[in-house]
Amino acid sequence: MFTRSRLIVVAVCLLALGAVLANAPLVSSQGLTITAAAIEGDLPLDAPDSALWQQATAVEVPMSAQMIARPIMPETNAKAITVRALHNNAEIAFLLEWQDATRNDSTLSVDAFRDSVAIQFPLIDGQPFYCMGQQGGDVNIWHWKADWQAALIAQRSLQDIYPNIYVDQYPFADPAVETEGDIYLAAYTDLDYLTAEAVGNLLALPVHLSPVEDIVAGGFGTLTSQSLEGQNVQGYGEWSDGVWRVIFSRSLTSAEAEDVSLAPEKLYSVAFAAWDGANQERNGAKSTSQWVSFQLAGAPGTGAAATTGAAAQAPLTARVAAIQPTGFNALFWGFIALLILIPLGIGVVMLYFHLGNKP
Amino acid sequence: MPDVYNWHLGRKMTYPYPEAHPTKQFAAVFNINRCIGCQTCTGSCKATWTFSRGQEYMWWNNVETKPYGSYPQHWDVKVLQLLDEAHQAAGVQPQWDHSQASEQAPYGVYNGLTLTEASGPNEQVLGYLPAESEWRSPNFYEDTSTGYKGGAYGLSPDGASLPEHQAWFFYLMRICNHCTYPACLAACPRKAIYKREEDGIVLIDQERCRGYRKCVEACPYKKSMYRGTTQVSEKCVGCYPRVEGADPLSDGVPMETRCMAVCPGKIRLNGLVDVAEDGSWVENPKHPLYFLVRMEQIALPLYPQFGTEPNIYYIPPRWAPRPYLRQMFGPGVDHAIERYTAPSRELLAVLQLFRTTQKMIFRYEIEEGPLVREAEINGKPWQMYDDTVIGFDAKDREIVRLSVVEPLHERPMERLNSI
């Protein structure tokens, strides 16, 4: 009997060790599930103040610096992002809020970088690598850019950032197509002189229809803009008092292979990333979350009830900045918890056999 | 990270990608001694490539006055400082061991850290992003010499004399070096920068670039430049349509770039050298660039210690302080100046080829001429011969023929004022 119990103890230990090494339970040990509350009628696509957002449960997702692929910036500024989601059976909208002391919404200057934020969905069943996916595990990324947003409100020319700029003429710019006489916004008769735009680089377009870029990726360095026709994510963002609030929206389903399609009552994964332009964060120098669970509530009003493990929170603007657990901290405490739980379990099993052996 | 062989340093160094060399390499020799600082190269590049909106501050070609001038401001001093700090942190005293010089290591062996080796765990390349203000004035300190210490009113009673002037400056004309191991390419997280197999020209893919400016940060020579109006970075394209022979004037053979071809001072010689599979230059003594760089060794790379193996070679100025020049061009400076000051018969002929044709010269021949002058240089006898040098294009057709002594044409009295 003693030998049998010892075997069981060993088996339990091995199982626990396997679970730790597989890393699987740790990621989901954050226990975060974002549930898009179902509502009737139009979604608040450009109204972060709308009362409708109160119907969605806010989930605070911890973020930490991307530390795997160079370039690495160990100290990124966004430590957490607060996420709410709504849907109306046709469209989905996310409201993302995070703290950022400065508004950086121009990339015209050579040393200016934008604030931005992204949502990422796997394009396969399961979870590919949480940073940009992996080979054979593509992800769909929605990337909102503060400068694209600002340009939608008012297009800025070089004269706005360099008030004393003076250029006699730009060859091949058509003065007849100047915008309000501003040579710095004049259209070009031949796009070859705006090289990146001429070859179809989406970033180079002078005007964007949405502040959100719809992107596909399959690993580090593979980020690729979807075609201009495939750009179907809308957005709206505004900054005040040190907080960005950004709304993403799209139809629930998409016919494009590079787009995620969402259906009610199904569990998805989603991840988030944010960049602080003032800190020169761009590309891999960013704050990123791990995968968190995401689902659409089935019927109106069930959103809050369906959410477990995440308490409703007051708007970010009203809260005092607190030190948020980073991804590393979550992993660390998860590991400690396992270390305590495993011997405890073994103790229970041993106690069971010990009691069972009593005459 | 893989190891690659850098013949400027005479050793292997770390680089993010394994060795893969082009079949030919875009290269040039710039003779600093002859530059008059007229900026015609700068203007021709501007008028060809960077006259559009968002490129106002871009000078893919610039000429700065050393030691104080630099564009962007203090680029070289800043990179040298970063490298110095990295050496101090690593406890390394960077030195060149010239005693180990060989065919594979013409300048000896450098034991210091390169920019890819000193980058630390978080970056691919040690570098910095210039602030906007540093791009503002490309001609700061133009024609400004160092101060003369000694005579009243900054004047020397004895005048200036070689080998080193006390008050000095020289022009440093710079384009993208189309490096063998480009730092910009190493740093791009998107692999949007590539080196062309056919000529080694380094380009930024305008479609893949997302304007992260990691290349601007990494390039020690600061020749990647960000364009705010298209949100991507651009750089010197080596006038690749001309190099390809696609220009209508080129007659289907490679042509020199615009900045090279316009030079009134005749200081530049541009060409394509054959590159072996191991990255070394294929031996070709009758190729003017091979002759100047590998045989005579009078033209030297700019800041070879950065480790990018740049492909623009400079004939260092004879009058500037040697320690400054050694820092800038490596340990080959003394040899180069000595050879240039008293050029060999063949070198004097090859030096005539600079900026004499728009087409790239792939081969030269020399027809010997008479002895025309005898002199003593640095205590040694020196002879000058009026040889004729002939340049041939990529199709081995004669494209230029010059004598060492420039022909003199005297205008007759009755036509004194005619043009």
Q: Where are the domains of chain B?
A: 3-254
Rounded to two decimals, the ipTM of the complex is: 0.92
Kindly tell me if the per-residue pLDDT of B240 is higher than 70.
yes
Q: How far lies B266's CA from each of B41, B170, B286, B339, in Å?
A: 11, 16, 20, 19
**A261 and A292 fall within a common domain:** yes
Distance CA B121, CA A67 (A): 10
Residue A176: strand, helix, or coil = helix
**A37 and A88 fall within a common domain:** yes
For residue A224, the enclosing domain spans 31-155+207-324
Q: What is the CATH number of the domain that holds A129?
A: 2.60.40.1190
Number of A/B CB contacts below 8 angstroms equals: 114
**A122 and A266 fall within a common domain:** yes
**Per the CB < 8 Å rule, is A201 touching B212?**
no
Which of A155-159, B15-19, B238-242, B297-301 has the lowest average pLDDT?
A155-159
Query: In this predicted model, what pLDDT tens digit does every residue of B355-365 receive, in sequence order?
Result: 999 999 999 99
**A51 and A126 fall within a common domain:** yes
Neighbour count for residue A7 (Cβ, 10 Å): 10
Which of residues B198 and A28 earns the better pLDDT score? B198
Kindly tell me if the per-residue pLDDT of A358 is higher than 80.
no
Residues in chain B whose Cβ is within 8 Å of chain A: 51-54, 56-57, 121-124, 129-132, 135, 187, 189-191, 206-214, 216, 225-232, 234
Say how many domains are in chain A: 2
**A132 and A215 fall within a common domain:** yes
Alpha carbons within 13 A on the beta-carbon side of A207: 9
**A137 and A23 fall within a common domain:** no
**A151 and A273 fall within a common domain:** yes
Query: In this predicted model, what pLDDT tens digit does every residue of B60-96 receive, in sequence order?
Result: 999 999 999 999 999 999 999 999 999 999 999 999 9
**Per the CB < 8 Å rule, is B210 touching A283?**
yes
Nearest Cα neighbor of A278 from A63, A104, A81 is A104
Which of residues B181 and A327 earns the better pLDDT score? B181
Provide the percentage of residues in chain A whose pLDDT is more than 70. 79
**A234 and A344 fall within a common domain:** no
Distance CA A147, CA A145 (A): 5
**A105 and A50 fall within a common domain:** yes
**Which one of B52, B122, B213 has the shortest CB-CB distance to A170?**
B52
**A2 and A64 fall within a common domain:** no
CA B413 centroid distance within chain: 45
* Burial call B234-244: b when 16+ CB within 10 Å, e when fewer: bbbbbbbebbb
Provide the percentage of residues in chain B whose pLDDT is more than 70. 100
Which of A198-202, B23-27, B214-218, B412-416 has the lowest average pLDDT?
B412-416
Mutate to test the interface with A, among B1, B48, B50, B53 (most CBs of A within 10 A): B53
3-state secondary structure chain B: CCEEEECCCCEEEECCCCCCCCCEEEEEEEEHHHCCCCCHHHHHHHHHHCCCCCCCCCCCCEEEEECCCCCCCCHHHHHHHHHHHHHHHHCCCCCEEHHHCCCCCCCCEECCCCCCCCCCCCCCCCCCCCCHHHHCCCCCCCCCCCCCCCCHHHCCCCCCCCCCCCCCCEEEEECCCCCCCCHHHHHCCCCCEEECCCCCCEEECCCCCCCCCHHHHHCCCCCEEEECCCCEEEECCCCHHHHCCCCHHHCCCCECCHHHHCCCCCCEEEEEEEECCCCCECCCCCCHHHHHHHHCCCCEECCHHHCCCCCEEEECCCCCCHHHHHHHHCCCHHHHHHHHHCCCHHHHHHHHHCCCCCECCCEEEEECCCEEEEEEECCEEEEEECCEEEEECCCCCEEEEEECCCCCCCCCHHHCCCC
pLDDT at position A184: 84
Query: In this predicted model, what pLDDT tens digit does every residue of A284-316 receive, in sequence order?
Result: 999 999 999 999 998 764 444 444 434 344 445
DSSP string covering A230-299: G---EEEEEEETTEEEEEEEEES--S-TTS----TT--EEEEEEEE-GGGT--TTSSEE---EEEEEEEE
pLDDT at position B190: 96
The answer to whether position A186 is within a domain reads no
**Per the CB < 8 Å rule, is B230 touching A204?**
yes
**A258 and A273 fall within a common domain:** yes
**Per the CB < 8 Å rule, is B230 touching A283?**
no
Q: B403 pLDDT band (50/70/90 cuts)?
A: very high
Name chain B contacts of A111, Cβ cutoff 8 Å: 129-132
Q: A174 pLDDT band (50/70/90 cuts)?
A: confident
Residue A164: strand, helix, or coil = coil
The answer to whether position A181 is within a domain reads no
Q: B419 pLDDT band (50/70/90 cuts)?
A: low
Distance CA B54, CA B46 (A): 13
Q: How far lies A341's CA from each of A15, A145, A347, B47, in Å?
A: 13, 44, 10, 72
Query: In this predicted model, what pLDDT tens digit does every residue of A226-257 receive, in sequence order?
Result: 999 999 999 999 999 999 999 999 999 999 99
- Considering chain B, what is the average pLDDT of its residues? 96
Minimum CA–CA partner of B131 in chain A: A111
Mutate to test the interface with B, among A195, A208, A220 (most CBs of B within 10 A): A195
Which of residues A35 and A18 earns the better pLDDT score? A35
**Per the CB < 8 Å rule, is A201 touching B214?**
no
Distance CA B347, CA A354 (A): 97
**A70 and A214 fall within a common domain:** yes
The answer to whether position A74 is within a domain reads yes
pLDDT at position A15: 47
- Identity of residue B309: E
pLDDT at position A188: 85
Distance CA B278, CA B399 (A): 32
